[in-house]
Amino acid sequence: MSATEEPAIVVRKVTKTYGSGATAFQALKGVDFEAKRGEFVMICGHSGSGKTTLLSILGCVLNATSGEVRLLGQDLSQPKESELAALRLSHIGFIFQAHNLIASLTAEENISLVLRLRGMGVSEAAAEARRKLAEVGLGEKTASLPRDLSGGQRQRVAIARALAGSPPLILADEPTAALDAQNGLAITETLRQLAKEHGHTVVVVTHDNRIFHLADRIVNIEDGLIQPGDHA
Ligand SMILES: Nc1ncnc2c1ncn2[C@@H]1O[C@H](COP(=O)(O)OP(=O)(O)OP(=O)(O)O)[C@@H](O)[C@H]1O
Ligand SMILES: [Mg+2]
């Protein structure tokens, strides 16, 4: 993908309606959002305000109902499924609110699988998986299955998986919710470093006021709309 001058993420007038007819629910009501290369942005807002919906659209997990979405210079307003899949796989690291680890694979295998899907060789993928686990403080748990890890440790495996292979966009949905203060701060500092030292664009959805001070910018979403007056 060619380097472009425009922000890594550009969202214009995006709406998302779940369902149809009498049960239709408009979760996003015309969202404008941007994030520059190397920026570390947090999105906060009450439960049900649309945070996961917006992040899922940025992560190509969900299509917007209307509006414009541009990621890394590529227009995704009318995306083909194959384009979305390719972008998701090689350019986006997504940390889900529910961690979505594969139960039958070890911590290391959960990570190396993604790298193998991107075409990386077996031993290189295993080495990168172990490096990322060490980075999130789980160097001792590479051979553990998810069921043998605590909730916070599972969340850290999911974080390591999203960081593996250094995708340019890193999107995280409540990454610190299951972590104690110390681990939450350590993970957030790792995410910030990726933005500041390596130019990744990092967007984190969070309620966690213990980590707000690490953001370049905090965006507030209420009832499907970004509120004016972003603060740094
Ligand atoms: N698949 C769906 N079908 C219908 N409505 C949905 C669906 N997913 C989400 N919603 C509704 O859309 C709104 C926004 O949901 P979303 O998950 O984006 O909220 P959120 O801000 O992430 O909340 P939380 O902080 O609880 O995770 C909510 O009112 C939710 O009930
Ligand atoms: Mg959510």
Q: What is the pLDDT along the chain (232 residues), one digit of tens a residue?
A: 444 478 999 999 999 999 999 999 999 999 999 999 999 999 999 999 999 999 999 999 899 999 999 999 888 877 788 888 888 888 999 998 887 899 999 999 999 999 999 899 999 999 999 999 999 899 999 999 999 999 889 989 999 999 998 899 999 999 998 888 988 998 899 899 989 988 999 999 998 999 999 999 999 999 999 998 755 4
**Bridge partner residues of 17 (DSSP):** 26
Cα–Cα distance, 95 to 201 (Å, whole number): 14
Cα–Cα distance, 200 to 168 (Å, whole number): 5
* pLDDT attached to residue 111: 96
Q: Could you give all domains of the chain from N- to C-terminal order, each with its CATH number?
A: 9-226 (3.40.50.300)
Of the ligands numbered here, which is closest to the C-alpha atom of 44?
1
8 Å CB contact between 29 and 22:
no
Of the ligands numbered here, which is closest to the C-alpha atom of 221?
1
Answer yes or no: is the C-beta of 45 below 6 A from any ligand 1 atom. yes
Answer yes or no: is the C-beta of 206 below 6 A from any ligand 1 atom. no
* pLDDT attached to residue 231: 52
Of the ligands numbered here, which is closest to the C-alpha atom of 96?
2
CA of 45 to the centre of ligand 2 (A): 10
Residue nearest to atom 7 of ligand 1 (CA): 18
* pLDDT attached to residue 84: 84
CA-based nearest residue to 133, from 106, 154, 160, 162: 160
* pLDDT attached to residue 230: 55
Residue nearest to atom 31 of ligand 1 (CA): 48
8 Å CB contact between 8 and 195:
no
* pLDDT attached to residue 4: 47
Burial 147-161 (b: 16+ CB within 10 A, else e): eebeeebbbbbbbbb
